[in-house]
Amino acid sequence: MPVTASPAPLSSGAHGWDISLFLDVNHLARHTGWMHAPMLAYFVDGVSALFALLLVAGWWRSRQRRDAAAMAACLWAGVGVLAARGIAQLVNHDLVEARPWQILPHALILAGHSTTSSFPSYDAVMAGAVTAGLFLVSRRLGIIAAAAAVLLCFGRVYIGAHYPHDVAGGLLLGAAVVLAGDLIVRIPLAAMVRLASRSPLRILLTAGPGAVREAAGIAGTAGRYPGALWRATRWPHAGRHRDRIR
C-alpha cells in the first residue's frame, strides 16, 4: 500500500502586516537574483554549522576562564537548544499553520515546498536558544549570535520558507526556554562542573591545572554571568568569618 503524505494545513496565522511584510521581502527576492544561491547555501545548509561553531567558541572561552558559572552556562546553552527544539515540536504539532506557498501561490519560493506547520520556525528556535545561552557566557559572543539570528530570520522569510511571525515567535520561544531553564539548573549544574573538574573530565572543563574556580571575582564575573555576584559574595569569605570567630 503506498504511503501518502499528511494533508497540508489550510489555515494561516499570518494576517495584515505579517503578509504585507512577507510580500515586501518576497518582492526584494524577485529583484535580487544574485542573492538566491548564497541565501540558499547559508539558510538551508550552513546555518546549523554556524551556530554550532558559536557554541564551541563559547565552550572554549569558558574553558579558558576556568569559571564554573561560565562553563555551566555554556553546557546549558547546548542542552537548552535541544529542550527548546522539543517544545517547539509540541507547539508545531498543536498549532498547524500553512506555509506561505500554500496560501500565496504566486509568491516566489526558493526553499522546498514543506508541508509541515509553519509556526514556529525550528531554525529560529535554535538561533534564539543559542543566542540567549551565549549571552550567559559572553556578551561579545551573544552579540555576534544575535546578529546572526536576525540575519537568519530575514533569510528564512527571503527564501519563502516562513512568515515574519514564524521566525519572530521561534526566536522568542528559544530564548525563553534557555533563560527560564538557566534559573533552574544554574546552581546545581555549576556544582556538577566543579565536581567533574576534579575528575579525568577536567581537560574538557578547564585549561589550567586544578579544579575550576567558583567565581572569577565580582568585577570580572558578575556583569557576564547571571547569579555570579550572588555566588561571589555569598561563599568566598565564609572561611575568613570562621577564623575570626576562633
pLDDT, tens only, 92-128:
777 777 788 878 888 888 877 777 777 888 889 999 9
In sequence order, which residues have a C-beta less than 8 Å from that of residue 136 and are 6 or more positions away? 73, 74, 76, 77, 142, 178, 182, 225, 226
Higher-confidence residue of 48 and 85: namely: 85
First to last CA, the chain: 83
For 49-76, write each residue's pLDDT tens digit: 888 899 898 888 878 777 777 888 888 8
For 79, phi and psi rounded to 5 degrees? -70, -35
The mean pLDDT value of the chain amounts to: 76
* pLDDT confidence bin for 197, thresholds 50/70/90: confident
Q: What is the pTM of this model?
A: 0.74
> How far apart are the C-alpha atoms of 244 and 246, rounded to whole Å?
5
Least confident of 12-21, 27-36, 188-197, 205-214: 205-214
> How far apart are the C-alpha atoms of 106 and 28, rounded to whole Å?
14
* C-alpha cell read off for 230: 550572588
Instruction: Look at residue 67 and give its three-state secondary structure.
Output: strand
- Residue 4 parent element (H or E): none
* pLDDT confidence bin for 170, thresholds 50/70/90: very high
| Amino acid type, 94 | D
Q: Measured between alpha carbons, how far is residue 73 from residues 37, 62, 103, 109 in Å?
A: 36, 9, 41, 38
The whole-number pLDDT of residue 196 equals: 78
Beta-carbon count within 10 A of 17 CB: 10
